[in-house]
Amino acid sequence: MTVEVWTILFVGITFMIYLYIGWRSRVKDTKGFFVADQGVPAIANGAATAADWMSAASFISMAGLISFLGYDGSIYLMGWTGGYVLLALLLAPYLRKFGKYTVPDFVGDRYYSNWARLVAVVAALFVSLTYVAGQMRGVGIVFSRFLQVDVNTGVVIGMVIVAFFAILGGMKGITWTQVAQYSILIVAYLIPAVAIAYQLTGNPVPQIAFTFSDIVDKLNAVQLDLGFQEYTQPFANKSMLDILMITVALMVGTAGLPHVIVRFYTVPNVRAARYSAGWALLFIAILYTTAPAVASFARYNLIDTLHDQKIEEVRQLDWVTKWENTGLLTLEDKNSDGTISLTPDEETSEITIDRDIIVLSTPEVAKLAPWVVALVAAGGLAAALSTASGLLLVISSSIAHDVYYRMINPDASEAKRVFVGRLMVGFAIAIAGYFGINPPGFVAQVVAFAFGLAAASFFPVILLGIFDKRTNREGAISGMLVGLLFTTFYIVGIKFGGMEPWLWGISAEGIGTIGMLLNLVVTLVVSRLTPPPPPEIQALVENLRTPSEAPLALTDIEEE
C-alpha cells in the first residue's frame, strides 16, 4: 500500500479512538469538566502530562531545530526538560495542595485580589492562543503532505476532532485521550529512530548509536567540507550569554505554562501529584533523549541524499515531489549545472528546507517502509492535538471559571458553569482554526513572545506565592505588570520594530529571563514597602508547605 493509504488507515483508527474516549468520558459537572473529578491515577496523569507537554514543537520541530543549529540547538533540550523539572519538584505538589482549578485561581486567591486574577487571565489567554494556533497549523501541514488535501481542510478536520472530545468530556475526556495520544506519538517517534540508528550505525538503540558510533564525526566532516561549522561546534550561531538567557527563559517559561500546571490538579492528592510528575519525567525523557540522535541522523541523510545530486533524478523521488508541492522544500539549480548543492550562504544554496519537515520527512529519506512514514504522520497529529486540547481547556477555564464564575456571577449553577465552559471551548477552537487557516506573519515569531510572557508573569508570582508569605497583592500586581511590559516592549521592538538587541546582545528569545528577574525584584521590594498580607493568607502559605494531604481552602477573605 502507498504512504497515503497507510496514513488514512492510521489516522482513521486513531481518530476513532479519540472520539470513542471523548464520548465515554463525557461529564456534567464543573469538577469533571475542569479537573477530571481529581481522580486520574498517577501513571495515567504522567502519560497525559507528557502528551500535553510534547506538542507539535517537540515532536515535529525540536529535532529539526537541533538538526539546523547543532550544538546550539541543545537550548531546547535543556530549557524544556529543565523547566519541567522545576515545575515538577518546585511548584506542582504545592499547587495541587492549594486545591484550585487554574493558575489564575491560585493567583487570585493567594494574592486576595481580582486585579491580580485578571492580569493572570490575560497572560494565560495570550500564551494559550499563541500555542494553540501553532498546533492547528501543524495539523494542517501534516494533512497537506500525507493526505494530499488542502492545508485549510486539514485544519478544519483537526478542529472538529478536538472540539468533540474537549466539549463533551472537558478535562476528563482530554486526559484519557492524551493517554492514548502519548502511546501513539512515542511509538511513532521511536520506530523510525531505531530503524535509522541500525541502518546507519548497526546499533538499534538511538541514544547509544548517537553517542558511541562515528556518525557525529562523519557529520562534522561533511559540514566542514560544505563550508559550515562543525555540527558539534559550540556557540556557532549564538553567543554564550544568549545561550544562557534563552535556556533560562525556556526553563522558567515552561515551568509557568498554564496548560501543563493544570494537569497536576487532576490527581486525587499531593502524593499522586508527586508520583505523576515522576512518571511524566520518564515518559518525556524517552523522546527527549532520542531527539538529538534523530536530528543528527536526519541531517546526515538529507545531505547525503540531496547534495551534489542531479536535480532531475532527485525530483523523481516521490517524497521530494510531494514536499515541494507543500512549499516547505524547494530545489533550484541556480548555476544551471544540473546538480544541486547545499551551502551556508542562502544566496547560493540551491536547497531550502523548512525545519518543521525534518522529522516528518526522515523516514522517507531513509527509505523506510510506507507504514512507518504513515505512523510518523499519525504521531505528529497526536502530538499537536494533545497539546491543542489542553490549551483549549485553559482558555475555557480562564474565561468560564476565573472571569465568569469568580468575578461576574458567583451564584452561577453547576449546569450554567459547564455550559459556559463548553461555549468557551467552541469559541477558542474557532479562533485557533481561524489563525491556523489564516496565519498572521508573526505566528512563528511570537513563540518567543509566549515563553517570555510565561517566564515574566507566572513563574515569579507562583514561586513567591508558595515560598514567601510576606509577598502581597501590591507586590504581585506590580511585578507581573513590570515583567510583562518590559518583555513585551523588548520582543515587539526587535521582532516588529526593527530594534537591535540593545541589552548585552540578548535576543528576543532570551529576554524573558530578564523580565522574570525584574518581576522577582519588583515584587519583593514593593511587598516590603507596603502592608503585609492578612494573617489568614500568611497562615495559608505556612500550611501550604506543611506535609499534609488535606487541600487548603480560603474562607471569608475579601478580594478587591
557 band by pLDDT with thresholds 50, 70 and 90: very low
Provide the grid cell at 474.
Answer: 501590591
Provide the grid cell at 448.
Answer: 518567543
Give 382: exposed, middle or buried? Use CB within 10 Å, 0-12, 13-18, 19+.
buried
Q: Which residue has the higher pLDDT, 6 or 137?
A: 6
pLDDT tens column, 117-165: 888 888 888 778 777 777 777 777 777 777 777 777 878 887 887 777 6
Q: Which domains does the chain have, with CATH numbers?
A: 3-217+231-298+369-438 (1.20.1730.10), 445-549 (no CATH)
Q: What is the pLDDT of residue 356?
A: 75
Residue 439 falls in which region: left (phi positive, over 0), alpha (psi -120 to 50) or beta: beta
Provide the grid cell at 177.
Answer: 485521550
551 band by pLDDT with thresholds 50, 70 and 90: low
When pLDDT is averaged across residues 40-67 and rounded to a whole number, the result is: 83
The answer to whether residue 442 scores a pLDDT higher than 60 is no
The alpha carbon of residue 278 and the mean position of all alpha carbons in its chain are separated, in whole angstroms, by: 19
Q: Which of 115, 110, 124, 160 is nearest to 139 (CA)?
A: 160
Q: What is the pLDDT of residue 447?
A: 62
Cβ atoms of residues 36 and 266 within 8 Å? yes
When pLDDT is averaged across residues 530-541 and rounded to a whole number, the result is: 91
How much of the chain, in percent, has pLDDT values that exceed 70? Answer: 93
Please name the amino acid found at residue 230.
Answer: E
Q: What is the pLDDT of residue 521?
A: 96
Cα radius of gyration (the chain) = 24
Q: Write the DSSP assignment of 507-552 as a string of letters.
A: -TTTTHHHHHHHHHHHHHHHHHHSPPPPHHHHHHHHHHTSS-SSPP
What backbone torsions phi and psi does residue 330 show, to the nearest 5 degrees? -130, 140
Q: What is the pLDDT of residue 559?
A: 42
Q: What is the pLDDT of residue 260?
A: 80
The answer to whether residue 274 scores a pLDDT higher than 90 is no
Q: What is the pLDDT of residue 197?
A: 94
The answer to whether residue 532 scores a pLDDT higher than 90 is yes
Q: Which residue has the higher pLDDT, 148 or 480?
A: 480
The alpha carbon of residue 29 and the mean position of all alpha carbons in its chain are separated, in whole angstroms, by: 28
Cα–Cα distances (Å) from 517 to 51, 203, 302, 455, in that order, read: 30, 45, 41, 9
- Tell me how crowded residue 244 is: count the other CB atoms within 10 A of its CB: 15
Q: Which of 268, 267, 265 is nearest to 401 (CA)?
A: 265
Give 423: exposed, middle or buried? Use CB within 10 Å, 0-12, 13-18, 19+.
middle
Instruction: Give the Cα separation of 69 and 296 in Å (integer).
Output: 11
> Hey, is 351 helix, strand or coil?
strand
558 band by pLDDT with thresholds 50, 70 and 90: very low
Instruction: Give the Cα separation of 266 and 41 in Å (integer).
Output: 9
HEC letters along 288-334: HCCHHHHHHHHHHHHHHHHCCEEHHHHCCCHHHHHHHHHCCEEECCC
pLDDT tens column, 284-310: 999 999 999 999 999 898 888 888 888
The answer to whether residue 75 scores a pLDDT higher than 90 is no
The answer to whether residue 451 scores a pLDDT higher than 90 is no
Cα–Cα distances (Å) from 32 to 297, 400, 414, 505, in that order, read: 44, 14, 11, 47
When pLDDT is averaged across residues 401-406 and rounded to a whole number, the result is: 82
When pLDDT is averaged across residues 24-51 and rounded to a whole number, the result is: 79
Cβ atoms of residues 215 and 304 within 8 Å? no
Q: Which of 545, 476, 528, 43 is nearest to 278 (CA)?
A: 43
pLDDT tens column, 231-270: 888 888 788 999 999 999 989 988 887 878 888 878 888 8
61 band by pLDDT with thresholds 50, 70 and 90: confident
Q: What is the pLDDT of residue 283?
A: 92
Range with lowest mean pLDDT among 19-33, 273-287, 493-507: 19-33
Provide the grid cell at 203.
Answer: 546499533
The answer to whether residue 373 scores a pLDDT higher than 80 is yes
Cα–Cα distances (Å) from 547 to 42, 88, 94, 269, in that order, read: 19, 16, 10, 12
pLDDT tens column, 81-114: 888 888 888 887 888 788 776 788 888 889 988 8
Q: What does the mean pLDDT of the chain come to?
A: 83
Q: What is the pLDDT of residue 439?
A: 64
Beta-sheet strands, E only, within 309-429: 309-310, 329-331, 339-340, 351-353
The answer to whether residue 560 scores a pLDDT higher than 50 is no
How much of the chain, in percent, has pLDDT values that exceed 90? Answer: 19
Q: What is the pLDDT of residue 206?
A: 94
pLDDT tens column, 340-364: 888 887 778 888 887 777 888 889 8
Q: Which residue has the higher pLDDT, 525 or 166?
A: 525
Instruction: Give the Cα separation of 84 and 277 in Å (integer).
Output: 9
Supply angle C-alpha 30, 33, 34, rounded to 5: 85
